[in-house]
């Protein structure tokens, strides 16, 4: 987003004051990232679509604004994340984001990764999805928020209510594992 483009917050304020086209701009900016985040986190397109719709409708019908230090992007992804967790809770599904995970153990196998393999990561979308879903949920969430939400690490820490250092390590381990999995796929 260039400096001349209106910020998300100003677009939301314009929409709240009756400017319909402002919402279209806002929606176009975030539709793909939010959908991919939900699809990657839930693993089911039907559920992703349901939560995606609920998230936007909630935003449309709400009169609230991002609070405190949260910007629009953080706020949007927070709504979506809460909706997904609500869905899991409502259907008796244990929240996978609450699983404790020993990141140190899962990071050991990645020590020998060859940096040259970065040049040959698989571009096959099916393989990307499969690799993504081999990640533990909390690592996957951090990676998706970084990749598709374009959030920085402090924002992810705030959104997930997780210490910043934990977020950093989750992201690092997720990236290492994905790189290894995709490279392996290419090499075989």
Phi–psi pair at 71, nearest 5 degrees: -95, 180
Nearer to another protein, 32 or 98 (CB): 32
Measured from the Cβ of residue 42, the count of other Cβ atoms closer than 10 Å reads 19
Q: State the minimum distance, in angstroms, from the CB of residue 79 to another protein.
A: 14
Tokens for 119, please give them: 């040049």
- State which residue, 15 or 89, has the beta carbon closest to another protein: 15
Comparison of 94 and 151: residue with beta carbon closer to another protein: 151
What are the residue ranges of helices labelled H in 62-163? 72-90, 103-107, 125-133, 137-147, 153-160
Give the helix ranges, DSSP H, for the chain.
Answer: 8-16, 20-42, 45-61, 72-90, 103-107, 125-133, 137-147, 153-160, 164-187
Nearer to another protein, 20 or 92 (CB): 20
CB of 181 to another protein, least distance (A): 10
Q: Kindly state the smallest distance separating residue 126's Cβ from another protein, in Å.
A: 9
Please, what is the Cα angle at 183 between 133 and 171, to 5 degrees? 50
Please state the closest distance from residue 44 (CB atom) to another protein, in A.
12
> Under the rule (CB under 8 A), what is the footprint of another protein?
15-20, 23-24, 27, 31-32, 35-36, 39-40, 45, 48-49, 52-53, 56-57, 60-61, 115, 118, 121, 123, 125, 128-129, 132, 143, 146-148, 171-172, 175-176, 178-179, 182
């Amino acid at each position: 987003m260039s400096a001349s483009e209106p910020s998300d917050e100003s677009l939301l304020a314009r929409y709240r004051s009756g400017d319909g086209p402002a919402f279209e701009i806002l929606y176009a900016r975030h539709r793909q990232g939010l959908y991919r985040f939900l699809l990657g986190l839930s693993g089911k397109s039907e559920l992703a679509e349901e939560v995606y719709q609920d998230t936007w409708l909630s935003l449309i019908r709400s009169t609230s604004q991002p609070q405190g230090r949260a910007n629009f992007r953080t706020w949007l992804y927070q709504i979506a994340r809460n909706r997904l967790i609500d869905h899991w809770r409502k259907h008796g599904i244990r929240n996978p984001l609450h699983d404790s995970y020993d990141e140190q153990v899962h990071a050991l196998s990645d020590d020998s990764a060859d940096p040259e393999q970065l040049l040959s990561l698989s571009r096959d979308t099916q393989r990307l999805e499969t690799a993504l879903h081999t990640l533990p949920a909390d690592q996957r969430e951090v990676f998706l928020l970084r990749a598709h939400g374009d959030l920085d690490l402090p924002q992810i820490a705030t959104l997930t209510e997780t210490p910043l250092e934990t977020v950093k390590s989750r992201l690092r381990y997720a990236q290492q594992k994905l790189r290894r999995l995709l490279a392996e796929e290419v090499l075989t």
